[in-house]
């Protein structure tokens, strides 16, 4: 069934129960706004510390936006883009779009003006709703993008080139428009990370969204008593698809605006959160705060926290072992997926398999997996090849890009671009991104393996291994290392430490620098390659 029906069901069964809470730790106004007071604080984005809404209010908000869109001529198959920071209204706006039969098109909040314009054009978006943080970027392109689409502003002090969402929706009906939808109808367009150029538009139908709900609840067992802490950006499939487990179970979720360790632990404690999805950097920051004594776990009420899971990037086994030192009773899961496979869950470790930490796991609920060689032939168990996944959550296509679609969709299988291997027990291990493999002197080097080793050094906060050009070997492995605050380590010390690796895997160059990561926690290796390949080429010319 379409995912919008879950919202309607929750209203019937749990209408007056709180479904979403927004926590803004940096708000100057520390008031806590209940759902009964919610309507009195419009327009939104008021800087309150805590706001909440019920399932009924959530649904009414979605219905008002749906009816506004319909009044402006939106019909099935049209597209409505969302450019908002995480907030209490994000998800009602998303569901309002779906209720019309239109496609929701979430946009990355880091996009530049040119990227926003590109994505709007590629997805053939009809309406853009944006928040106050993006006024400057939208103003730069408003003359061009407003000629064939409506611009809606969500927040206070609406700019002259847009219309005010709050004023317009206030006069709209809060009754569901009851547009009939089927599983096979298009539902949303998400964008790839764009690490190899401008992003691709990923088309999913309602079956994909619904399958992600089932996958999440099957893997993590959400029930009505759970409280999910959501920190990553909602424009990304990862955060939203994990929240879909709360939607399916009718349970509460907390949107936290901020990633500092004290914000996370405070939210878990005060909101009685039971499930938390972290990115690697946030988990590292929590551990460092506890190691240093800056924060103490006993100062917080954490006994109800039952599950910590991580996704979006390879997870260092050393991190999880250290996590269990502080939180021995936590269940742990890691989740693997792509936006092309409706986010996390195509492969997952499973809470019962922590003895296999380091693996990404086994096929997720309703998913099939295999590993193939460059000719498309399945490899022998233990050999490295490209991971492929198949299931109800695979994208329909790259929208308006037939060539790119044909390159990654083969007979229903999605070629992920990730290199992996399978052990004797059937568990999959992520080796690296296909495009990140370093070929040095004829040897294939997989950066993730080197990174996992270097992270075990007690002075290392984060590390990224990239390939740099080399006249003799073609490429060499370079390790960019970010040290923990207050810690020191020399190049000679790190080279000595790396003698614990096989000789051919040892990085030939050590660089101490900050590691850039995107909003979903992935290391931005293209940024590092661009930064250091130039230096390497200059260095080679000087030495020639």
Average pLDDT of span 40-60: 75
Tell whether the torsion through CA atoms of 284, 286, 287 and 293 is positive or negative. positive
CB distance 61 to 90 below 8 Å = no
Q: Is residue 49 part of a domain?
A: yes
Q: Which helix (H) or strand (E) holds 282?
A: helix 280-292
Q: How far apart are CA 379 and CA 385, in angstroms?
A: 7
Q: What's the mean pLDDT in 360-366? A: 94
Residue 133 placed within a domain = yes
CATH of the domain at 15: 3.40.50.12780
**Residue 466 located in a structural domain:** yes
The secondary element (H helix, E strand) that includes residue 404 is: helix 402-408
Q: Which domain holds residue 194?
A: 4-205
Of 172, 205, 238, the position where a domain reaches its end is 205
Using the 3D structure, point to which of 153, 173, 205 is the last residue of a domain. 205
Mean model confidence pLDDT for the chain: 89
The pLDDT of residue 231 is above 60: yes
Q: Could you report the per-residue pLDDT of 156-210, keeping only the tens digit for each?
A: 899 999 999 999 999 999 999 999 999 999 999 999 865 445 789 999 999 999 9
Mean pLDDT across the stretch 234-254?
A: 92
pLDDT at 526: 76
Stated pTM of the model? 0.83
Q: Which of 312-321, 343-352, 362-371 has the lowest mean pLDDT?
A: 312-321
Q: pLDDT value at position 538?
A: 42
Residue 500 counted as domain residue = yes
Tally of domains within the chain:
2
Tokens of 497: 């430490």
Q: pLDDT for 285-306, tens place per residue?
A: 999 999 999 999 999 999 999 9
pLDDT band for position 81 (50/70/90)?
very high
Cβ atoms within 10 Å of 429's Cβ, excluding its own? 19
pLDDT tens track for 87-99: 999 999 999 999 9
Q: Is 288 inside any structural domain?
A: no
Nearest of 326, 327, 247, 232 to residue 280 by alpha carbon = 232
Q: What is the mean pLDDT of residues 335-359?
A: 90
Q: Is residue 169 part of a domain?
A: yes
Mean pLDDT for the stretch of residues 523-544: 64
The candidate with the shortest Cα–Cα distance to 242, out of 286, 275, 289, is 275
């Amino acid at each position: 069934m379409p995912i919008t029906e879950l919202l309607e069901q929750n209203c019937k069964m749990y209408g007056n129960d709180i479904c979403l809470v927004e926590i803004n730790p940096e708000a100057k106004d520390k008031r806590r706004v209940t759902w009964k007071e919610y309507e009195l604080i419009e327009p939104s984005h008021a800087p309150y510390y805590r706001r909440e809404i019920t399932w009924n209010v959530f649904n009414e908000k979605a219905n008002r936006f749906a009816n506004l869109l319909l009044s402006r001529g939106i019909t099935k198959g049209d597209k409505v883009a969302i450019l908002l920071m995480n907030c209490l209204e994000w998800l009602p706006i998303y569901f309002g779009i779906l209720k019309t039969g239109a496609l929701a098109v979430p946009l990355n909040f880091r996009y530049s003006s040119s990227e926003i314009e590109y994505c709007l054009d590629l997805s053939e978006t009809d309406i853009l709703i944006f928040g106050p943080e993006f006024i400057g970027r939208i103003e730069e392109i408003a003359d061009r993008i407003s000629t064939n689409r409506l611009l809606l502003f969500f927040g206070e002090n609406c700019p002259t080139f847009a219309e005010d969402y709050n004023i317009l929706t206030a006069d709209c009906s809060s009754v569901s428009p009851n547009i009939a939808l089927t599983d096979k109808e298009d539902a949303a367009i998400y964008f790839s990370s764009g690490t190899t150029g401008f992003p691709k538009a990923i088309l999913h139908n309602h079956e994909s969204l619904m399958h992600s709900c089932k996958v999440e609840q099957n893997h993590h067992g959400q029930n009505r008593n759970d409280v999910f802490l959501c920190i990553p950006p909602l424009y990304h499939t990862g955060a939203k698809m994990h929240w879909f487990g709360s939607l399916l179970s009718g349970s509460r979720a907390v949107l936290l605006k901020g990633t500092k360790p004290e914000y996370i632990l405070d939210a878990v404690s005060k909101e009685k959160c039971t499930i938390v999805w972290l990115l690697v950097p946030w988990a590292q920051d929590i551990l460092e705060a506890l190691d240093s004594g800056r924060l103490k776990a006993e100062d917080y009420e954490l006994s109800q926290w039952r599950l910590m899971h991580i996704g979006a990037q390879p997870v260092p086994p050393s991190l999880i072992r250290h996590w269990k030192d502080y939180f021995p009773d936590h269940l742990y899961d890691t989740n693997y997926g792509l936006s092309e496979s409706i986010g996390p869950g195509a492969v997952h470790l499973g809470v019962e398999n922590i003895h296999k930490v380091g693996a990404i796991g086994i096929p997720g609920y309703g998913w099939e997996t295999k590993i193939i060689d460059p000719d498309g032939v399945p490899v022998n168990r233990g050999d490295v090849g490209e991971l492929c996944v198949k299931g109800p959550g695979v994208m329909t296509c790259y929208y308006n890009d037939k060539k790119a679609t044909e390159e990654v969709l083969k007979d229903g299988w999605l070629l992920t671009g990730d290199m992996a291997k399978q052990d004797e027990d059937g568990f999959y291990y992520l080796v690296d991104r296909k495009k990140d493999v370093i070929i040095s002197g004829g040897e294939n080097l997989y950066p993730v393996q080197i990174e996992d080793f270097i992270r075990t050094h007690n002075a290392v906060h984060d590390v990224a291994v990239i390939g740099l050009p080399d006249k003799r070997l073609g490429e060499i492995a370079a390790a960019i290392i970010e040290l923990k605050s207050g810690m020191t380590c020399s190049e000679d010390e790190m080279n000595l430490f790396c003698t614990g690796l096989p000789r051919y895997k040892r990085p030939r160059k050590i660089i101490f620098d900050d590691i850039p990561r995107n909003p979903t926690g992935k290391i931005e290796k293209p940024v590092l390659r661009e930064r250091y390949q130039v230096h390497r080429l200059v260095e080679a010319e000087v030495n020639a």
